[in-house]
């Protein structure tokens, strides 16, 4: 097996470094996109938990333990999340129906 000359090895390293440098902006963009996707998923998860909690409160699971203000807050959150789910459903249906 013949070992590469110093010049050939240097050229290979330069090409590898150039390829890594050109991929660096994409790495930052990919990290940013992953961060935004994680934040959106976390927000959706928290929204689902809030919707579930508000539904339990409204249906009477804890109705004797909450004040009027807490009950109204839970009602507002439930309607807000239900509206969000409804809007998303309508948007998805329009995507399927529209050519």
Confidence of residue 17 (pLDDT cuts 50, 70, 90): low
Q: What is the percent of the chain where pLDDT is above 90?
A: 6
- Confidence band, pLDDT 50/70/90 cuts, at residue 38: very high
3-state secondary structure string, 61-83? CCCCCCCHHHHHHHHHHHHHHHH
Query: Of 53, 99, 94, nearest to 76 (Cα)?
Result: 53
Residue 35, pLDDT score: 92
State yes or no: pLDDT of 18 exceeds 70.
no
């Amino acid at each position: 097996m013949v070992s590469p000359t110093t010049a050939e090895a240097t050229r290979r390293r330069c090409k590898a470094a150039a390829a890594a440098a050109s991929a660096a902006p994409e790495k930052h963009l990919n990290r940013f996109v992953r961060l935004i996707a994680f934040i959106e998923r976390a927000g959706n998860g928290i929204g689902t938990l809030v919707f579930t909690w508000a539904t339990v409160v409204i249906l009477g699971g804890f109705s004797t333990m909450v004040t009027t203000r807490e009950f109204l807050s839970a009602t507002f959150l439930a309607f807000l999340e239900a509206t969000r789910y409804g809007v998303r459903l309508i948007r998805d249906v329009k995507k399927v129906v529209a050519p």
